[in-house]
Structure 1
Amino acid sequence: MKKSLHYILGIILIHFTQTVYGQQDKSNQSAAPLHHAHQVLTSITIHDIFSPPVASRIYAYAHLAAYETFIKGNDSYYSLQGQLKEFPAIAAPQQPVSIPLAGVYAFMLTGKNLIFSEKTMEDSITQVIKVYKKQLSPKAFQASLAYGKMVSDSIISWSKKDHYADTRKLRRYDFVKGEGKWVATPPVYMAAIEPHWRMIRPFALDSSAQFAPHPPTPFSKDKNSEFYKEAYHVYHTRNTLTPEQTAIANFWDCNPFAVNVHGHINYATKKLSPGGHWLSIAGIASQKINADIVKTSAAYTLTAIALFDGFISCWDEKFRSNLIRPESYINSYIDETWKPLLQTPPFPEYTSGHSVISTASATVLSNFFGDNFLFTDTSEIPYGYPARTFTSFIQACNEAAISRLYGGIHYLPAIEQGQIQGKKVGEQVLRKIKLQKT
């Protein structure tokens, strides 16, 4: 882990730029420092095994801190103050500072406050500071750090009011008893992940239940019932997968902690989370158009907001409907030996989380970069999967959604309703939050 982070840091240090607030035009700033700082944070969230909802929270606050720093002195972007509930007013720096240093420093300090591997992030920050210390005057250097810390402190203080700490104090989740209710699944029968996530304060949503989907199909064991047919569809699809469908399922797996069982040997595989994957896409799109650091930050931030609210909306429904997973149903009523291609996640089935957050992300990214945006998604190459090319963000989110059927972990209605839910979340973000003025 440390070796990979040191490699990433080496790239960061090569690409850092020296732009001083109030002294140079900021429109052509390189976005490389932000891209690579984001990669450092991603590496740590993977190492620390944060669940998808919690990872979305870490990303969101870190990128909000960076964005509010980078926009200072740039009249083409709006502050989030006045757009997000109780968001702090952050004044512009009163003396010359390096905006790239202050912004990336704010990003990394905020991330450090929200992760477990603080020492790793602190080592990264130390290396960044060394580079700037050589490039800036002592006064500008200290002022930049002070400003970045001020922004980070403001964002962290605001984050503490989102009820996350309250959810840490609640009792362990008790499974709901009854036919058709979600139960823990093989191979390790993990406890429920974030059953109280609906309590988290959203950014653009009026409430966690604002876009509650239609209820799932009523549970039934009857072979002539609609529910049985939906389960059998999953069963048949998994048993007749084509190589392309298998590749799609694996590419979009995004399981932060998959447990592999081979005889008596168990080991875990860590991967990019769904939110981390879509933020990677936001970074890929920004790099393709050579977006400057402010536009890049806006793309990351808008995507992070959509992800954050998408998880809140989805988790609200998951623990309301509390629906049994295909693996549990199929093993009980169709084929006791059947296994899904992907490991079943430890939370209820309806709606599909990847369908919700992928569609929410694609909705805001399409608005930001355009509907017909060709890009090659290289996000999963570090985890052994080849790149895939898409003609639009919507095409990518549609593939991400249907991958859950191919993987054997969702019924089709959870995917279809999840995409409807995600689109509504993305559209709400675009209605409530404006970043670019033109």
Structure 2
Amino acid sequence: MRQHYVFVGIFFLLLGVGAGCQNKAVDYKQAAADPEFLHQSVKKLTDVITHDIFSPPVASRVYAYPQIAAYEVLVHDYPAYQSLEGQLNGFKGIPKPVPDSAYCFPLASLNAYLTVSRSLTFSSDMFDDYEAQLYDKYRNMGVPDDVFDRSIRYGQLAAKSILAYASEDGYKQTRGYRHTVSQAPGHWVPTPPAYMDAVEPFWHKIRPFVIDSCSQFAPVRPAVFSTDKDSDFYKEMMTVYETTVKLTEEQKQIASFWDCNPFVMHTTGHVMYATKKITPGGHWLGITGIATRKAKADMMETLEAYTRVSVSLADGFISCWDEKYRSDQIRPETVINTLVDDKWVPLLQTPPFPEYPSGHSVISNAAAVVLTDLYGPSFQYEDSTEVAYGLPVRSFNSFEEAAEEAAISRLYGGIHFMPAIINGAEEGRQVGKYVVTNLKTKK
């Protein structure tokens, strides 16, 4: 009888151990797909982009490729989703995982994300501690050693494929090109205080991700430069001047909240120094993170949102920069100082590139269209993206409302004429709609 009890006891002990092992396996798979790991990785990339002072268009490229890499890996864990192969211009997909082999695809996805991020930024060492801690978390949650190693190898393989894809987009070929400043009236010239060269004058040569070409959604041309007080251009200039000399506190707060100038120069006596800020694209990816958290999106849904928004931002910048250097329009600061008030200074520092159209108006509306498609037209949220840069939280009733505020902030800041804002917003909406229609993530 005692032997019987011993046997029964051992049986239930083994049953319990077996169930424990099974639960541990289930637990690691659930824990591995925590979207917070993705949010933290995006935040880390934003920190590095800010530290490295990438210009807004270049930053949009740096954001896009890691998202695509991560998406293409994680899609293997979610049968309802499909690859972007054949949907992104020139993209032929990534190598397939080995059949009948176990992978932790969330781990592989994050490895691909961080590997591509390292390759596209300067300060790759800034990822070291974060990446080591992330992998320790995966080991500690019970990912088997063979699965861990296989997943890392697959992440590396995917990253290599995406970096090869990125190498063909024209970026390397446009390095070192400079803009020739025109001496003709009404054209862009460098602005104070740093009088920097124009940023990315050949960005229109970068391969877009989804739109057919850089000029597919080109806005109408801006008003012809004129010093005639009855001309459209002169009236647009006076609108900027008259608005900025009587700004309300709310308008000043709006301008500062959406400034997103990654490199602001300050002059104190004979000393000049710079402060770093998040880029416009980084701000909208911050909004994407806020929205997906509020929607309680799983890891795949979160990555879908980040990827679609990143692509819309990148294509928005390519579209916008194409017109900027075709119009080559003078900035308000230059013309107001020349024709109206030589002591006038805009609230925001004028960015170093031509005026038309407004980049923030384009990319904000492109991103807003994509996010509205994902989460609806009445998605209320609190935008805390700029808290890290000393600015308060702002509340919005929709992504469209936020995009409209981002656009008009450029008038309050004194850095854009109204047509650049209005027509830029429409250009962005067209880009966003095109991405929504032509980039299919679900089967």
Mark yes or no: TM-score above 0.5: yes
Among all aligned residue pairs of Structure 1 and Structure 2, give the percentage whose two residues are the same amino acid: 48
Look up the match of 1:161: 168
Q: CA deviation at 1:74?
A: 1.0
Matched, 1:276 2:268: no
Q: CA deviation at 1:374?
A: 0.3
AA aligned to 1:109 is T
Q: CA deviation at 1:23?
A: 10
**Per the alignment, in what secondary structure is the counterpart of residue 32 of structure 1?**
helix
Matched, 1:239 2:245: yes
Does the Cα contact within 8 Å between 2:68 and 2:307 map onto a contact in 1? Answer: yes
Q: Which has the larger radius of gyration?
A: 2
1:56-75 alignment, distance < 5 Å: 56-75=60-79
Provide the rounded CA distance (Å) in 1 between the counterparts of 2:411 and 2:152. 48
Does the Cα contact within 8 Å between 2:32 and 2:138 map onto a contact in 1? Answer: no
Aligned partner of 1:420 among 422, 426, 429? 426
Matched, 1:173 2:160: no
Aligned partner of 2:331 among 325, 329, 333? 325
Aligned partner of 1:386 among 381, 384, 392? 392
83-92 vs 160-169, greater mean Cα deviation: 83-92
Provide the rounded CA distance (Å) in 1 between the counterparts of 2:230 and 2:338. 16
Look up the match of 1:410: 416
Look up the match of 2:358: 352
Q: CA deviation at 1:412?
A: 0.3
When normalised by structure 2's length, the TM-score is 0.91
Q: CA deviation at 1:25?
A: 7.0
Q: CA deviation at 1:261?
A: 1.5
Look up the match of 1:339: 345
Provide the rounded CA distance (Å) in 1 between the counterparts of 2:197 and 2:183. 15
- Superposed CA deviations along residues 375-400 of structure 1, whole A, max 9, x for unmatched, are 00000001111000100000000000
Gap regions ≥5 residues in structure 1: 1-18
Provide the rounded CA distance (Å) in 2 between the counterparts of 1:200 and 1:241. 38
When normalised by structure 1's length, the TM-score is 0.92
Closer/same/farther in 2, CA of residues 192 and 287 from structure 1, 3 Å limit: same
- Superposed CA deviations along residues 298-332 of structure 1, whole A, max 9, x for unmatched, are 00000000000000000000000000000000000
Aligned partner of 1:128 among 116, 131, 134? 134
Look up the match of 1:37: 41
Does the Cα contact within 8 Å between 2:32 and 2:106 map onto a contact in 1? Answer: no
Does the Cα contact within 8 Å between 2:316 and 2:428 map onto a contact in 1? Answer: yes
Provide the rounded CA distance (Å) in 2 between the counterparts of 1:128 and 1:138. 15
Provide the rounded CA distance (Å) in 2 between the counterparts of 1:379 and 1:81. 32
AA aligned to 2:171 is Y
Q: CA deviation at 1:27?
A: 11
Provide the rounded CA distance (Å) in 2 between the counterparts of 1:434 and 1:328. 44
Provide the rounded CA distance (Å) in 2 between the counterparts of 1:258 and 1:88. 40
179-188 vs 262-271, greater mean Cα deviation: 262-271
Instruction: Give the alignment's Cα RMSD to 1 decimal.
Output: 1.8
Provide the rounded CA distance (Å) in 1 between the counterparts of 2:283 and 2:144. 38
Provide the rounded CA distance (Å) in 2 between the counterparts of 1:32 and 1:354. 28
After the TM superposition, which parts of structure 1 deviate over 4 Å for at least 4 consecutive aligned residues? 19-28
Q: CA deviation at 1:370?
A: 0.6
- Superposed CA deviations along residues 10-34 of structure 1, whole A, max 9, x for unmatched, are xxxxxxxxx9999987799320000
Provide the rounded CA distance (Å) in 2 between the counterparts of 1:26 and 1:358. 34
Look up the match of 1:265: 271
Look up the match of 2:18: none
Query: How many pairs are equivalent?
Result: 418
Provide the rounded CA distance (Å) in 2 between the counterparts of 1:123 and 1:390. 35
Look up the match of 1:103: 109
Provide the rounded CA distance (Å) in 2 between the counterparts of 1:429 and 1:21. 38
AA aligned to 1:206 is D
AA aligned to 1:292 is D
Closer/same/farther in 2, CA of residues 160 and 336 from structure 1, 3 Å limit: same
AA aligned to 1:160 is S
Look up the match of 2:156: 149
Does the Cα contact within 8 Å between 2:32 and 2:107 map onto a contact in 1? Answer: no
Provide the rounded CA distance (Å) in 2 between the counterparts of 1:70 and 1:107. 11
Aligned partner of 1:83 among 83, 87, 94? 87
Closer/same/farther in 2, CA of residues 28 and 128 from structure 1, 3 Å limit: closer
Provide the rounded CA distance (Å) in 1 between the counterparts of 2:378 and 2:31. 25
- Superposed CA deviations along residues 137-178 of structure 1, whole A, max 9, x for unmatched, are 2211110100111111111110100000000153x2211220
